[in-house]
Amino acid sequence: MATINLQISSLEPESALNRFVVEAGEPFVHEIDRGQIVRIVDLEGNQAVDTLFYNAHDYSDRYSAQDTIREQRNIYLTAGTRLISTEGNVLLTIVADTCGRHDTLGGACAAESNMVRYAIEKRSMHACRQSFLKGIQNWKRGFEKRDITSNINFFMNVPVTPEGVLTFEDGVSDAGKYVELRAEMDVLMVISNCPQLNNPCNAYNPTPVQILIWDANVL
Q: Is the dihedral of CA 34, 213, 78, 95 positive or negative?
A: positive
What is the rounded distance in angstroms from the CA atom of residue 54 to the CA atom of residue 207? Answer: 25
Q: Would 6 be classed as within a structural domain?
A: no
In a domain, 7, yes or no: no
User: What average pLDDT score do residues 192-213 get?
Assistant: 86
Which one-letter amino acid corresponds to residue 29? Answer: V
Please report whether residue 5 resides in a domain: no
The larger pLDDT score, comparing residue 162 to residue 45, is at 45
Q: What is the pLDDT of residues 56-109, one digit of tens each?
A: 999 999 999 999 999 999 999 999 999 999 999 999 999 999 998 999 998 877
| Cα 88 from Cα 16, distance rounded (Å) | 30
Bridge partners (DSSP) of residue 191 are 28, 51
What's the pLDDT at 219?
Answer: 67
Domain count, the chain: 1
User: 3-7, 102-106, 208-212: lowest mean pLDDT where?
Assistant: 3-7
pLDDT-derived band at 158 (thresholds 50, 70, 90) equals confident
Residue 86 lies in a domain: yes
Is a pLDDT exceeding 70 seen at residue 112?
Answer: no
45 lies in some domain = yes
Mean pLDDT (whole number) for 123-149: 82
Q: What is the mean pLDDT of the chain?
A: 88
Percent of the chain at pLDDT exceeding 70: 89
Give the pLDDT confidence score for residue 47 in this predicted structure: 93
Examine the pLDDT at 156 and tell me if it is beyond 70.
Answer: yes
The verdict on residue 12 lying in a domain is no
Q: Which domain holds residue 149?
A: 17-214
Where residue 113 falls among pLDDT bands split at 50, 70, 90?
A: low
For residue 110, name the pLDDT band (cuts at 50, 70, 90).
low
Structural domain includes residue 69: yes
DSSP 46: S
Question: In this structure, is the dihedral angle defined by the CA atoms of residues 184, 3, 205 and 11, taken in order, positive or negative?
Answer: negative
The pTM of this model reads 0.91
Residue, of 67 and 118, whose pLDDT is higher = 67
